[in-house]
Structure formats: structure tokens, C-alpha cells
Amino acid sequence: MRNGTVTTFILLGLTEDPQLKVLIFIFLFLTYTLSVTGNLTIITLTFVDSHLKTPMYFFLKNFSFLEISFTSACIPRFMYSIASGDKVITYNDCFIQVFFTDLCGVTEFFLLATMSYDRYVAICKPLHYTTIMSSKVCQTLILGCWVSGFCVIMPPFSLALTLKFCDSNIIDHFTCDGVPLMKISCSDTWLIEQTVIICAVLTLNMTLTCVVLSYASIIKTILRFPSAQQRKKAFSTCSSHMIVVSITYGTCIFIYMNPAAKEQVTINKVVSLLISSISPVLNPFIYTLRNNQVKKAFKDSIKRIVLLTS
């Protein structure tokens, strides 16, 4: 992976203020620790608790793994840069970071769409749920999410590998990202820009259409339930996923569809930081605090640990 004159890049980060850097580092340390701990807890519970061995929690386990992978691809490197003052990243490491953050980010959209379909089958076709969402089908859907994510990112990523960097190697961001890289490239970036737009629009349209259609059918079915208690229970099983979907799609649309935000580099960097640090922290709490089965599994696991240690 050679590129003529440039072998390293310099990541500017968010600020040069020493006091602000300390605050950012503490913030990132806390959010990253909470994110990894929370998502690992969900993954562990789905393995050890028999009540959580259902398709819904199988997808949730994979979603938690994606969240850990996504935030680990960029946050630890940024924390190291703040702590050491070393802003230099090699060409290879930079593009490896771009690859994994994009792969995890795009795969997450396909997984959210898959989770919406799972909720649709559970509520709209409950008698056929175990047949439709069999173990083999769930594994195939997860594999399909990863393959879809890979296929989406490969065309723009392959074109990005051909970019030449002659005039500058300074990236105005805290992590390697496609847009800042194209800004400093001395190559013609028209083709890669159009490819990125096409891939992003296709991904958002396909996954969001699946989510909207699934929840339209879910809401339509729930409103037909005769009992208010049944309606409340059905809505509660979907509410956590709907909140996560809203956060994920909302932030993505803000960055890529809002021209004002796109022009303001600082806003873009701050929103990117929130996506990579806050969202992975919120998601475990959203799923656990609003889910009685997960809370019960967590309490049972704590009791078992206490008994074993005593």
C-alpha cells in the first residue's frame, strides 16, 4: 500500500487547548469504558442466560459486538494521541482505520433493518415466529449484514486507495475519515465523491425502507389488539429498538444531508465524536433499562456471582 510521497498523516484532533484536551480525554475514557462494559455485559448475558437465547437477543448480541468494534476502531487511537501528543498516523494505519469504521458503521444499518424485520415477524406473525426466525435463518441474516456492508464500502474504499497526496498530509479531524482525506488529496476526487453518495443513498434508502415498512405493519397490527395491556406490551418490545434507530439515522442524516453541517468542519467533528462515543454508551442502557428480561438476567447473574464468591 504505497503512495508516492506521503507515508504518514497528521491528525489535528479537536483542539490545541491543554485544559480542554484533559476534559476531552476524561470524557472519552469514561464513555469508552462504559460503552465496552455495557455492550460486553449484554453479550455475556445472552450467552449465559437461557431466557435470552432467542432471535431478538441474538441480533442484540451482534449489535453490541458491532458497537464495541466501531468505537474501538477510532476512540483508543484518539485517546493515545491526546495523552502522548503524537498526532502522526501511518498511511497503512489510516486506511485500515477508515476500512473498519466504515465497515462497522454500514453493517450497523443493515443489522438495524434486520432487527426491525425480526420485530415485525414476532408481532405480526407470532404463530410462525420460531419457524421463520430459525437459528439458521438468523445466522444467514447476520452474515448477509456483514457481506452487504463489505460490498457497499469496497467500491469507494478501492477508489480511495488510488488517491495521491502531494501538497499536504494534515487531516483536519480526530480520526481518518473519507471526506477529510479527499480534501487534502491532489487527485481528481469527483468519481469517488459520486460513488460515496450513491453507496450512502442506496444504504440509507434500502435499510430505512425496511425499517419504515416493518414498523408501519407493526403499528397497524398493534392497534388492532383488543386489550390495552396487549398493546402496551407489544409497544414496549419495540420501543428500545425504535429509539436506537431514531438516534442512528438522525445523526447520520444530520451529517450527510444537512449542507450547513457539512460545511462547518468543527460541527462535523463534534457530531462524529458523539456518534463514536455517546451512541455506543446509550444503546446498552436503552436496551437494558427498558427490558425486563435483560434486567432479570442481569440480577440473576449478579446473584450467581455473589453465591460463587461467597
Work out the percent of the chain whose per-residue pLDDT is above 70. Answer: 92
**Mean pLDDT of the 136-165 span:** 95
CB count in 10 Å sphere of residue 25: 16
**Mean pLDDT of the 97-123 span:** 94
Output the pLDDT for position 40: 92
Q: How confident is the model at residue 161 (pLDDT cuts 50, 70, 90)?
A: very high
24 near 15, Cβ under 8 Å?
Answer: yes
Least confident of 77-81, 144-148, 248-252: 248-252
The type of residue at 187 is: S
> Average model confidence (pLDDT) for the chain?
86
Question: pTM (2 decimals)?
Answer: 0.89
pLDDT for residue 259 is more than 50 = no
pLDDT for residue 132 is more than 50 = yes
Q: How confident is the model at residue 299 (pLDDT cuts 50, 70, 90)?
A: confident
pLDDT tens figures, 162-200 = 999 887 899 989 999 888 898 898 888 899 999 998 998
Output the pLDDT for position 4: 53
Cell of 35: 460503552
